[in-house]
A and B are shown apart, each in its own frame.
Chain A
C-alpha cells in the first residue's frame, strides 16, 4: 500500500474503531445496574460486540502502521487528542432512555455504513469484516429501536424522558453526518462511504421509529463537533483515566 493510502486507511480505521471502543465502554458501564435482568444481559452483550469490532479494527490498523505494535497500544496508550471518536459516543450515559436512544442513532448509522462497505471497499480485509459487523449492528439497531418505541409510547413520564433525551443528544448528531476533506478522500478512493450518503436512509428509519414512539425527529445541524480532530468533551478525560488506568499504572507489563 502506498504511504498516502496507508495513512488514509489507518486514520479511517481509527475513527470507526474509536467510535466503537468508546461507545462500548459507555455501554459496559451499565453492567449490573440496568432496569431489568434481561437488559443486564443485553447491554454487556452489545458492549462485547462494540469492543470486539474495535479490537478487529485496531488489529487491522496495526498491520497498516508499524508504529503501533498491537491493538492494545492503540486502545489504551494514546493521548486524549489522538482519539478520533465522535463526541456523541463519549457523552455520559444519562438514564436508560438516553442510553438506548444514542445506541439507536449510532447503530442505525453504522448499519447503513457497513452495508455500504460490504458493497464497495478497496480494503479487502475491511470489506470481509463488514459482513459480520453489518449483522451485529443491525441487531443493535433493532434492539435499541424497540426500546425507543416502548419508552416513547409507554407512559407520560417515559415519553417526557425520551423527549429530553432527544433534546440532549441533538447537538451531537450533526457531527455524525459531517463530511470533511478526509471523508471525501475516503469516498473518492472507494475506501469508506461519505457520512452524508447515509443520511437519507438513516433519517427515514429514525423518523419512522420516533414517530411510532410519539416522538419528534430532531433538527440535524452541525452544532458540537471536534471529536474527529481529537477535540473532546470534559467527560472524555474521566473515561480515559478509567480505560487507561492499568496500562498507565503498570507500564510494559503483559496481562
Chain B
C-alpha cells in the first residue's frame, strides 16, 4: 500500500511539474482523475451554455429590425452552434461521449450558464447579451486560451476571436439604440437594467465560496479567480456604458483608488447571491422553458436521427457486400 501511495504521489508531482513548466496536457497523457473530471464538467457546461444560449437570441431572429441585423444575428447563433460542436469534441477527448453529455443536459443533471435562464423580451436584449454576456464570457475565456489542457486551449482561441466580434456587435446595437429615439434609448436602458446583475453574477460565486477555484488555478485551468475576473469586467463595462449615455443600475458603484492593487477600479454594490443560487438551482425566470425547448427538439427529432442511423447502416452493409 505504501508503495502504491508513494507512486501516486510521485505521479501527481510529475503532473504538477509539467503544468508548472507550462507544458500542455494532451488527451493521451496521464492526468489525475480530479483534473479530468474538472475539465469534463467545465467544458461540458461551456458547450451546453453555447447550445442553450442559442435560444434567447434565436428568439429574435425572425423579428430583427433590419436585414443587416437579422443577418448578423443569424451568423452569431450559427457561430454558437459551432462553438458547441467543437467544445463537445474537446470534452470527448477526455472520455465522455457527446450523447452522454446531451442526456445530462436534457435531464437537468448538467448545468449551463445561468445567464441564459433570463428572458429576451425586447430587441435591446440582443444588444445587451452581446455587449454584457459575451463581454463577460470573453473575460472568462481569454485566460482559457492558455489553459493547461491542449484541446480546450486550442478551441478557445477560435471561440474568443468570434466572441470578441459578437461583443462589438452587441455594443454597436446598444450604441445605435442609445443614440436613437426616446423609445429606443429607454429600451436600451431597460435591457441594461435587466442584464447588468445577471452578467456580474456570470463569474460565479465569490472566491470565498468557490470550492473549485483552488485546484483549477493550481492546474492552470483557471488563471484568475472569479472575483478578479468580475473586477476586470466591471472596470471595462462601466466606461463603455457612460460613453453611450446609459446608466449602470448600481447605486453603490464608485471609483475606488485602492482596487486592483492600488491602480484603482470600480467598487460595486452587493450581489444578490440568493437570486444567483435560486437560478442555478432551477428556479430562474426561464429555466423550465429552456430545457423544455431542448427536450422538445430532441424528442421531435428522434425519428430523424433514427432514420440517419438506419440509412448509414444500410449504406455500410451495401458497401461491405460490394467488396
**Complex contact A31–B77 (CB within 8 A):** yes
Q: Give the number of residues in A that approach B within 8 Å (Cβ atoms).
A: 49
How many angstroms from the CA of A38 to the CA of B305 in the assembled complex? 11
Number of A-B contacts (CB under 8 A): 141
**Complex contact A250–B181 (CB within 8 A):** yes
Name the one of A25, A58, A95, A247 contacting B62, with C-beta atoms under 8 angstroms. Answer: A25
CB of B157, distance to nearest CB on chain A (Å): 19
**Complex contact B306–A151 (CB within 8 A):** no
Asked if A154 meets B310 with Cβ closer than 8 Å, knowing A31-B54, A31-B77, the reply is yes
Residues of A within 8 A of B58 (CB): 31-32
Residues of A within 8 A of B88 (CB): 37
**Complex contact B304–A151 (CB within 8 A):** yes
**Complex contact A28–B62 (CB within 8 A):** yes
How many angstroms from the CA of A97 to the CA of B300 in the assembled complex? 11
The reply to whether the CB of A158 lies closer than 8 angstroms to some CB of chain B is yes
**Complex contact A58–B307 (CB within 8 A):** no
The reply to whether the CB of A234 lies closer than 8 angstroms to some CB of chain B is no
Residues of B within 8 A of A254 (CB): 176, 180
The reply to whether the CB of B254 lies closer than 8 angstroms to some CB of chain A is no
The reply to whether the CB of B41 lies closer than 8 angstroms to some CB of chain A is no
CB of B199, distance to nearest CB on chain A (Å): 21
The reply to whether the CB of B70 lies closer than 8 angstroms to some CB of chain A is yes
**Complex contact A34–B301 (CB within 8 A):** yes
The reply to whether the CB of B78 lies closer than 8 angstroms to some CB of chain A is yes
Residues of B within 8 A of A255 (CB): 65-66, 68-69, 123, 173, 176, 180
B interface secondary structure, majority: helix
**Complex contact B311–A44 (CB within 8 A):** no
Asked if A96 meets B67 with Cβ closer than 8 Å, knowing A38-B85, A48-B75, the reply is no
Residues of A within 8 A of B302 (CB): 35
**Complex contact A33–B296 (CB within 8 A):** yes
Binary CB contact string for chain B from 296 to 317 against chain A (1 if under 8 A, 0 otherwise): 1110111111111111001000
How many angstroms from the CA of A39 to the CA of B308 in the assembled complex? 12
Q: Which residue of A lies closest to B313 (CB)?
A: A154
How many angstroms from the CA of A37 to the CA of B300 in the assembled complex? 14
Binary CB contact string for chain B from 43 to 67 against chain A (1 if under 8 A, 0 otherwise): 0000000010011001001111111
A interface secondary structure, majority: helix
The reply to whether the CB of A182 lies closer than 8 angstroms to some CB of chain B is no
The reply to whether the CB of A45 lies closer than 8 angstroms to some CB of chain B is yes
How many angstroms from the CA of A243 to the CA of B69 in the assembled complex? 12
The reply to whether the CB of B184 lies closer than 8 angstroms to some CB of chain A is yes
**Complex contact A51–B180 (CB within 8 A):** no
Asked if A155 meets B82 with Cβ closer than 8 Å, knowing A243-B62, A246-B123, the reply is no
20 contacts between A and B (CB under 8 A): A25-B62, A28-B70, A32-B55, A32-B58, A32-B77, A34-B297, A40-B51, A40-B81, A44-B74, A44-B77, A51-B67, A55-B68, A55-B71, A72-B67, A76-B65, A96-B301, A154-B307, A158-B304, A158-B306, A254-B180
Q: A44-B61, A246-B123 are in contact. List 8 more A-B contacts (CB 8 A).
A: A32-B77, A40-B81, A41-B82, A246-B64, A246-B65, A253-B181, A255-B66, A255-B69
Give the interface of B toward A (CB within 8 A). 51, 54-55, 58, 61-71, 74-75, 77-78, 81-82, 84-85, 88, 123, 173, 176, 180-181, 183-184, 293, 296-298, 300-311, 314
Give the interface of A toward B (CB within 8 A). 25, 28-29, 31-41, 44-45, 47-48, 51-52, 54-55, 58, 71-72, 75-76, 95-97, 149-151, 153-155, 157-158, 161, 242-243, 245-247, 250, 252-255
